[in-house]
Structure 1
C-alpha cells in the first residue's frame, strides 16, 4: 500500500511539471594514477565552447503550445507544455583500477555527479519559470498572436541568458575559485594515488 501511495504521489507531483527525460552519457578515461586519469579527461572530455571539460549537463527543450484567439481579438497562450531532455556527460574510468585509486576515483566521480545535479536542478527551475510565465500569457488586439509570441520570445531570451550567467558563476565558484568544492575534489584526485 505504501508503494502505491508513493507512486501516486509522484505521478501527481510530476503531472503539472515538464515532461522530463534524464540521460547520462559516459566517455572513457584511462590511467593508473589520479593525474593520468585527469589528463585523460583533458583529452577526451566533452568540448564546450572549444574547450574540454570534465563533465557537462545540457538540455533540449521543446514545447507543445496552443495559442487561442479570444472573441474580443486578444490572443491567449492557453497551453504551454514543456518537453525537456537533460543529458549529463561524465567520465568513466576503467573497472580494474588499483584499490586506492578506485576509492579516490569514486570520491571524484561522486563530486562530479553532485556538481552536475546542481546544473540539472537549475535547468528544471528555468523551465518552470518559463512555463509559469507562458501559460495564460495574453495580448489584447492580437488576432495573429504576434505580440504574445514576441513577449514570449523576449522572456525566453532573458531567462536563458540569466540561466547561462548563473551556471557560469556556479562553475567559477565551485571549480575555479580557491575553496570551491569541485576544485578540492579535482586536487584530491590529481594529488592522490
Structure 2
C-alpha cells in the first residue's frame, strides 16, 4: 500500500525543509523523507493428531505500507525534473526495505516449517517454539535493515546524492 503526505515549496531547499518538518516520524523528534512500515500476521496451520502437534502450513502474510511526500502546487520545469529523479531514488530505497522484509518472511516461514512435538496436544509448546524462531529471524533481518540504512545514509552515500540532486541550483 502507498500513502502520501503533502508538502509545499518552490525550491529544493523548501521541499527538503517541508519533508523534515512534516514527514513520517523516525524516532521521537526526527522526521524522515519517506518510510516503509510493515507488519506480519501468521496464518500457521497445525496438525493436532495423536497428542502431538506439527506445522502443516507455516503461512504468514506481510503487510507493507510505503509513505512518500507529495508536492502540492506547481514547480518549475527544472525542479520538476529534479523532483522526479529524487523520488525515483527515494522509491528505490524504500522498496529495498520492502524486499528485505519479504526475505525475512520467507526465512521465517522456512524456520518454522519443521516444528513438531509428539507430546503437545494443545500446540502450546509448538507455538512458543514458533515465536522463538520467528523472533530470531526478525532480529537478524532488522539488523539487515539497519545495515542498509547505515550504508545509504553515511556521508557521501546515496541519500547525500539524492539531497544534492534535489537542492542543486538551477542553471
TM normalised by structure 1 equals 0.81
Cα offset, 1:82, TM superposition: 1.7
Partner of 2:74: 96
Name stretches of at least 5 consecutive residues in structure 2 with no aligned partner. none
Change (3 A) 1:32 1:53: same
Equivalent residue in structure 2 for 1:55, among 30, 34, 50? 34
Correspondence for 2:13 among 26, 35, 58: 35
Unaligned runs of 5+ in 1: 1-22
Per-residue deviation at 1:180?
1.4
Conserved 8 A contact 1:41-1:91: yes
- Secondary structure, aligned partner of 1:48: coil
- Per-residue CA deviations over 1:67-88 (Å, capped at 9, x if unaligned) read 22232x3310112222222100
TM-score normalised over the length of structure 2: 0.91
Q: 1:188 to 1:133 in 2, by over 3 A?
A: same
**Post-superposition shift, 1:48?**
2.5
In the alignment, is the contact (CA less than 8 A) between 2:111 and 2:134 conserved in 1? no
Aligned to 1:16: none
State the partner residue of 1:20.
none
Aligned-residue Cα RMSD (Å) equals: 1.5
Are 1:64 and 2:43 matched, yes or no? yes
Shift of 1:95: 5.3
Counterparts of 1:151 and 1:81, CA distance in 2 = 15
Offset at residue 161 of structure 1 (A):
1.6
CA contact (8 A) 1:101 1:192 kept: no
How many Å apart are 1:128 and its aligned residue? Answer: 0.7
Residue pairs, 1:7-156, within 5 angstroms: 23-50=1-28, 51-71=30-50, 73-94=51-72, 96-156=74-134
Query: Does the Cα contact within 8 Å between 1:34 and 1:190 map onto a contact in 2?
Result: yes
Q: Does 1:191 align with 2:168?
A: yes
Conserved? CA contact 1:104–1:192, under 8 Å = no
Cα separation, partners in 2 of 1:140 and 1:192, compared to 1, 3 Å? farther
| 1:180 maps to 2:143 | no
